[in-house]
Structure 1
Amino acid sequence: MSPNMIGFSFILLGIFLIIGKLFRSKIEVLRKLFLPSSIIAGFVALLVGPEVLGRITSRFFAEESFFYTGLLPEFILNVWSTLPGLFINVVFAALFLGKVVPNLKKIWLIAGPQVVMGQTVSWGQYVVGIMLTLFVLTPFFGMNPLTGALIEISFVGGHGTAAGLSGTFEELNFAEGADLAVGLATIGIVSGVIIGIILINWGARTNRAKFVGGKTPLTKEEKEKLAELEERETDQKTKHTTSMEPLAFHLAIVGAAIALGYVLLKLIVLLESYTWGAWTGTHLFPYVPLFPLAMIGGMLIQIGLDHYGKSHFIDREMVNRISGFSLDILIVSALGTLSLAVIGDNLVPFLLLAIVAIAWNVFAFLVLAPRMIPQFWFERGIGDLGQAMGMTATGLLLMKIADPDNESPALEGFGYKQLLFEPLVGGGLFTAASLPLIYQFGPVAILIVSIIVMTFFLLFGILYFGGNKAKA
């Protein structure tokens, strides 16, 4: 494949992003669903690609024709299919760069209930997903046991994690899992917004949500900002480097984080090969993707900069631009190369996974959140619901609608929560390792571990934080 083909593939991605932006500005229902332009662009690419338009054009054009696969030739799809696995590393490497990390005591005091709630929901997604796979999907539909991890990967992890794990799915002989995961992530984000807004209206009517509407209604511009994929932080006092273009400098920092993560991963693989891997014959880390280690690489760089008083060189807003660009590229390329045939062949399991995931998330919000979050449970819990249904941006969106003037500690707690949440689940280490863990040790073993961890967080939340509510 020539460099010109690769370059043209990126140009076409940009064109689809512009088309997505135009569709969003002209079609009101897309704005009401708060769908980002990148998701709309990905669907447009899917429609004009081989899975939809290509099924029609392939009947009229020869295989060597440019239009045989619709408006997207095969070389475009070949390039796009590799992008999610590459750009997910950028997204996760940038996750903690430029963020001032408070001490653990402050994080716990403010975000403790939301940390425990988020962990309960995420581990519960493994529990319901693996149980559904063990008792229904594998015996009746012949689904791969790895299917049990799809709910957490897709719903809490979102499009980025689902698409970023495509290489792991292939290595573990479950290539169709990547398409199912991206499809479930799409169901999650759309249903998350719709169900979240329904629950907010219900909360306002029943006086459970006390701050809906705020002191001043949200403007059109503020509503537009809510659809962005990342929280945009602009209060950083940053000293820009004068000897280097700031964008190039920050790209270099992100690249260094990824490189550090790569070294860490190779060291862990080497350690495993000489220790427990050699003793047991079980090798886990060769199947673990790079992006959770890239996230740790970014954390280590940030800690080092904080220690030496150099953190002011990192502009969080610039890091967000890089991360947002990478996430847009990732989503368009993942949706554009999605296999509808795979989803169609596994339609009933796909729908069962979606229904069970949504039911668990809504149950956790309505039943567990009031018992685990001592104060402002609705405003804080709705953020956890949004994140559990789609991604971090969905949680931010729903919290902003439920509490537009930030009269509750929901937004601050939600931000702090990520520091003790994302390194493990929601795209963190366990999310990335869940597929090889199930592959190596079987779904029953991982189900037992998930039940134990979920039960621990559930009881801790109810007995400790619920007890604080009783005393308040």
Structure 2
Amino acid sequence: MSAEIVGFSIILIGILLLLGKWIRVKFSIFQKYFLPSSIIAGFIALLLGPEVLGKIFILFQGEETFLSDGLFPENVLDSWSTFPSLLITVIFASLFLGKRIPSLKEIWFTAGPQVSFGQTIAWGQYVFGLLLTLLVLTPFFGLNPMAGALIEIGFEGGHGTSAGLEETFVELGFADGADLAIGLATVGVVSGVVIGIILINWGVRKNKTNILTDPNDLPENKLRGIIEQGERPSAGKITTSPESIEPLALHIAVLGVAILIGKGLLEGLIFLESITWGAWTDTEIMTYLPLFPLAMVGGVLLQLFINKFDTFRLVDRQIILRVQGFALDFLIVSAIATLSLTVIGNHLVPFLLLALTGIVWNVAAFILLAPRMIPNNWFERGIGDFGQSMGMTAAGLMLIRIADSKGETKSLEAFGYKQLMFEPMVGGGLFTAASVPLIYQFGPIPVFIFCLVIMLGWLGLGLFYFGKK
């Protein structure tokens, strides 16, 4: 794959994002449900690619038709297919860079209720996904037992995690799992935003919210996704003189160091496994672990080092977030654009059952458990966890900003702190990455029992400790 093709592929995604933003601005239906431009752009690419437009031309003109791959050349699609696994590493490496790492005590008292609620949802996705697989999907549809992890990977993990685990699925003999996970991530994001808006309107009507009166009263430009000129925040602080080093280049270099630390940790774990339990039991887990969760750990370690030794405070969180947002938008477009509808079509009923199970569990948890586990401002704080559990942290942040636009309930602060005790394990963390290898090595029943015990533990903590406060 030449550098020219990679560059052309990036330009095409940029054009698709511009088209997606134009559609978001012009058509109220997309504004009403706050669909991100990247999701719209990804669907446009999917429709114009080999899975839709290409199939239509093949149907009427045969296999040799000029547009059998749609509007995009095959080498561009091949290039796009490599983007998600690269970009997810950038996203996870940036999660904690440029921000103060608070003490565990501070996190616990500020975000403890949300930690217990978010963990309950995440482990519950494994519990109900594995239960569905054991009782229905494997015996009646012959689906690989590893499908039991797909709800958490697709919904809680999102597009990045789903795409990042593609090689793991292939190596373990369940190649269709990656496409099913990306499909579930797409369903999760779209339904999460739509259902989230419906829940906010329901909360207003039923007096469940403490701050918001009517989300339909939002300004027109807010709905379009445009910030008013007088309200536009700074995109980041320039911490170095551009003639010495461009600030953006500095921050990208820092991200590279975090990723390199993660790579070293991963190689160390693989080596440790090869001389210990791997050699004793012939069991391999770390070999199938992708890089991105360790890149997140690398980011945390690097930030701790920066906090101690960087007296100039050269790493700016806002610039890191801009790089993270760039990577996320390009990841979503490329992941949806290369989604295999054929694979989803071949497993349509199991796919729909998995999607329905995930949606029902997430909605039920928000309505029934959040008010009993989060003692103060449960709606404003819980709606963020609901959005994240459906596929995107960004969706959770968006729903919080709608429900509590001025930050009166400290929901954003608690949501941010929660990630430090959440992301390292689930939602794309270490257990999310290891769940598929664990099911492959030990079978679905032991993993189901383990997840059930963990879920009940977090549920009990939320109900009987935080819920009583």
Taking structure 2 as the reference length, the TM-score comes to 0.94
Alignment deviations for residues 31-58 of structure 1 (CA, whole Å, 9 cap, x no partner)? 2121111111111111111101101223
Stretches of structure 2 that go unaligned for 5 or more consecutive residues are none
Alignment deviations for residues 121-171 of structure 1 (CA, whole Å, 9 cap, x no partner)? 100100000000000000000111110001011111111111221111111
Give 1:448's aligned amino acid. Answer: I
Partner of 2:93: 93
Partner of 2:45: 45
Tell me, yes or no, if the aligned pair for 1:233 and 1:317 is still in contact at 8 Å.
no
Give 1:145's aligned amino acid. Answer: P
Partner of 1:144: 144
Q: CA RMSD, aligned part only? A: 2.1
Give 1:396's aligned amino acid. Answer: L
Tell me, yes or no, if the aligned pair for 1:165 and 1:432 is still in contact at 8 Å.
yes
Alignment deviations for residues 15-43 of structure 1 (CA, whole Å, 9 cap, x no partner)? 21222122222222112121111111111
Matched, 1:333 2:334: yes
Alignment deviations for residues 224-249 of structure 1 (CA, whole Å, 9 cap, x no partner)? 5599xxxx985976632551111111
Matched, 1:67 2:70: no
Separation (CA, whole Å) in 1 of partners of 2:155 and 2:109: 27
Superposition pairs of residues 53-452 of structure 1, within 5 angstroms: 53-59=53-59, 66-213=66-213, 218-225=218-225, 239-242=239-242, 243-310=244-311, 312-452=313-453
Tell me, yes or no, if the aligned pair for 1:94 and 1:254 is still in contact at 8 Å.
yes
Separation (CA, whole Å) in 1 of partners of 2:216 and 2:51: 46
Equivalent position SS for 2:185: helix
Separation (CA, whole Å) in 2 of partners of 1:215 and 1:342: 38
Q: 139-148 or 407-416, which moves further after superposition? A: 407-416
Give 2:189's aligned amino acid. Answer: I
Measure how far apart 1:208 and its partner are.
1.3
Equivalent position SS for 1:136: helix
Alignment deviations for residues 332-360 of structure 1 (CA, whole Å, 9 cap, x no partner)? 11111111111111111111111111111
Tell me, yes or no, if the aligned pair for 1:213 and 1:401 is still in contact at 8 Å.
no
Give 2:451's aligned amino acid. Answer: S
Separation (CA, whole Å) in 2 of partners of 1:294 and 1:194: 32
Separation (CA, whole Å) in 2 of partners of 1:347 and 1:293: 33
Equivalent position SS for 1:421: coil
Tell me, yes or no, if the aligned pair for 2:57 and 2:65 is still in contact at 8 Å.
no
CA separation of 1:171/1:403 partners in 2, compared to 1, >3 Å: closer, same or farther?
Answer: same
Tell me, yes or no, if the aligned pair for 1:226 and 1:397 is still in contact at 8 Å.
no
Stretches of structure 1 that go unaligned for 5 or more consecutive residues are none
Measure how far apart 1:374 and its partner are.
1.1
Tell me, yes or no, if the aligned pair for 1:83 and 1:330 is still in contact at 8 Å.
yes
Equivalent position SS for 2:211: coil
Measure how far apart 1:390 and its partner are.
2.3
Equivalent position SS for 2:122: helix
Measure how far apart 1:433 and its partner are.
0.9
Q: 234-243 or 18-27, which moves further after superposition? A: 234-243
Tell me, yes or no, if the aligned pair for 1:66 and 1:73 is still in contact at 8 Å.
no
Separation (CA, whole Å) in 2 of partners of 1:349 and 1:337: 21
Measure how far apart 1:214 and its partner are.
8.0
Tell me, yes or no, if the aligned pair for 2:239 and 2:247 is still in contact at 8 Å.
no
Partner of 2:15: 15
Equivalent position SS for 1:51: helix
CA separation of 1:214/1:39 partners in 2, compared to 1, >3 Å: closer, same or farther?
Answer: closer
CA separation of 1:199/1:239 partners in 2, compared to 1, >3 Å: closer, same or farther?
Answer: same
Separation (CA, whole Å) in 1 of partners of 2:355 and 2:331: 22
Equivalent position SS for 1:39: helix
Separation (CA, whole Å) in 2 of partners of 1:198 and 1:60: 41
Tell me, yes or no, if the aligned pair for 1:146 and 1:439 is still in contact at 8 Å.
yes
Tell me, yes or no, if the aligned pair for 1:305 and 1:311 is still in contact at 8 Å.
no
Measure how far apart 1:188 and its partner are.
0.9
CA separation of 1:460/1:311 partners in 2, compared to 1, >3 Å: closer, same or farther?
Answer: farther
Tell me, yes or no, if the aligned pair for 2:93 and 2:299 is still in contact at 8 Å.
yes
CA separation of 1:234/1:268 partners in 2, compared to 1, >3 Å: closer, same or farther?
Answer: farther
Tell me, yes or no, if the aligned pair for 1:218 and 1:404 is still in contact at 8 Å.
no
Alignment deviations for residues 261-310 of structure 1 (CA, whole Å, 9 cap, x no partner)? 11110011001000010011101101000000111111111100001144
CA separation of 1:226/1:457 partners in 2, compared to 1, >3 Å: closer, same or farther?
Answer: farther
Give 2:124's aligned amino acid. Answer: G
CA separation of 1:18/1:148 partners in 2, compared to 1, >3 Å: closer, same or farther?
Answer: same
Q: Name the % identity.
A: 58
Aligned residues between the structures: 464
Equivalent position SS for 2:51: coil
Measure how far apart 1:223 and its partner are.
4.1
Separation (CA, whole Å) in 2 of partners of 1:239 and 1:407: 30
Separation (CA, whole Å) in 1 of partners of 2:443 and 2:433: 16
Give 1:250's aligned amino acid. Answer: H
Equivalent position SS for 2:50: coil
Give 1:128's aligned amino acid. Answer: F
Give 2:6's aligned amino acid. Answer: I
Tell me, yes or no, if the aligned pair for 1:157 and 1:391 is still in contact at 8 Å.
yes
Tell me, yes or no, if the aligned pair for 1:369 and 1:377 is still in contact at 8 Å.
yes
Separation (CA, whole Å) in 1 of partners of 2:85 and 2:225: 27
